[in-house]
Structure formats: structure tokens, C-alpha cells
Amino acid sequence: MELIKNLQWRYATKKFDTSKKVSSNDLQKLKEAVQLSVSSYGLQLYKVLIIENSEIREQLKPVSWDQSQITDASHLFVFCNYTEATPEAIDDFIKHTAEQRNLDLDRLNGYGDFIKAKLEEKSQEEKTSWLKAQTYLALGNLLNACAELKIDACPMEGFEPEAYNKILNLEAQGLNAVVIAPIGYRHEEDHTIGQLKVRKPMEMLFEIV
């Protein structure tokens, strides 16, 4: 199974080679992998910023615990959730579904009303948690795609979301930075290359009921 081999190869890269850049062709493949990610109800209530601009990344580094991956990686993926699951967003999703599947919009409006009703049952805290969780599903696809393409990545929560929101003007777009992932190619001097993966034994992690 190639996926297992790819997952054994990947690790959270701590030092990137600044001389190596991800090609536009491979970047497009990564974008397609993220686009195809699963999400609750299929809504994909998030947006992914791909930061190439070196000046912006220099601004983000101090609010990312001063970690070198922010500036040294080829690209920086910033996964942002929309702060509200608005009725308009659900209506747009239903309309888009009807167009893509060549269906009568009236046939899908009931499903849209169902989604709105289920989300209305959640408290604001539950909605916030649910919206943030969707970004991690997309992050997983990015990491798996990177591993297949032998592109290194480092998922990170070690940053200040509020500062990212301000620097990237996210609040004005109704967005909130949740998790980030620098991608590129490992530096030969990265001290974590080749370290044995530490994972729970199968018998501890799984239980068949």
C-alpha cells in the first residue's frame, strides 16, 4: 500500500531548504487534493490562503513563535474557517449543487432547510468548534498529498491566530486562521530527519467491539 509507505516517509519538517521551491504543477495538485476534501454536509466553510510573499511571511514569523519554517518553506498554507455558517452560504451551496448535478433547485431546497435547522440547534460555542474542525479535514488531505509527491510539510498550531487575522485582514472577510502548514523540501541539516516515529501500539489504539 503506497499510502502507508508515504506516511512512513513523511515527518513534521523543522528545517526547510530555502533554495528549493515547489513547482506550479505540484502546487496545483495539492490544491486539487484540498479541494476534494470531505466536509460536513459538503459545505466546505473555509478558505485556504497560500502565502508566497516573503514580506508577509516575515511579518507572520514573530507571531508564529519565531519558527523558521514560516519564512524558509516554499509556501505557507493558512487554513481559515468562516466565522459564521450563514443561511446565504448554505443557499449558495445548494444552488451550486443543483448546477453541477443538473438538478431542479426546488428538489434540493428541502435539504438546505434541513442543514440550516441542524446548525441552528447548535450553541455558538458548538458552531465555532464545528467550523474550526472542518479545516483539519482539509489539512489531512494536504499532508497526504504532500507525502505522495515527496513534498515536506509541517502542520502547526504554534502561532497567534488573532495576529494572523490582523496581518492578513481576515476578519474583514469573515475568516479566522485555525491551522497552518509550511510546505517545501527538507534541509539535509534538519536534526529530526530519520527519527523513529513514536506512535501508540495497535493494541492500545484500536479496539474491536
* 70-89 confidence digits (pLDDT tens): 999 999 999 999 999 999 99
Q: What pLDDT was estimated at residue 44?
A: 98
Residue 31: its pLDDT value, please? 98
For the full predicted model, state whether its pTM sits above 0.95: yes
Domain with 17 in it: 2-205
% of the chain residues with pLDDT over 70: 100
**What does pLDDT average to over the chain?**
97
Alpha helices in the chain (DSSP H): 2-9, 24-35, 54-60, 69-72, 87-101, 105-120, 124-148, 161-167, 202-205
Which pLDDT belongs to residue 101?
96
The pLDDT, as a whole number, for residue 202 is 97
- As for how many domains the chain has, the answer is 1
CA-CA distance, 173 to 161, in Å (whole number)? Answer: 15
pLDDT tens for each residue of 114-160 = 999 999 999 999 999 999 999 999 999 999 999 999 999 999 999 99
pLDDT at 149: 98
pLDDT-based confidence at 57, cuts 50/70/90?
very high
Q: Of the candidates 16, 19, 11, 17, which has an alpha carbon nearest to the alpha carbon of residue 67?
A: 16
CA separation for the pair 162, 170 (Å, rounded): 9
Distance, CA of 183 to CA of 185 (rounded, Å): 7
Report the C-alpha gap between 152 and 14 in whole angstroms.
10
Q: What is the CATH number of the domain that holds 8?
A: 3.40.109.10
Chain segment 13-26, per-residue pLDDT in tens: 999 999 999 999 99
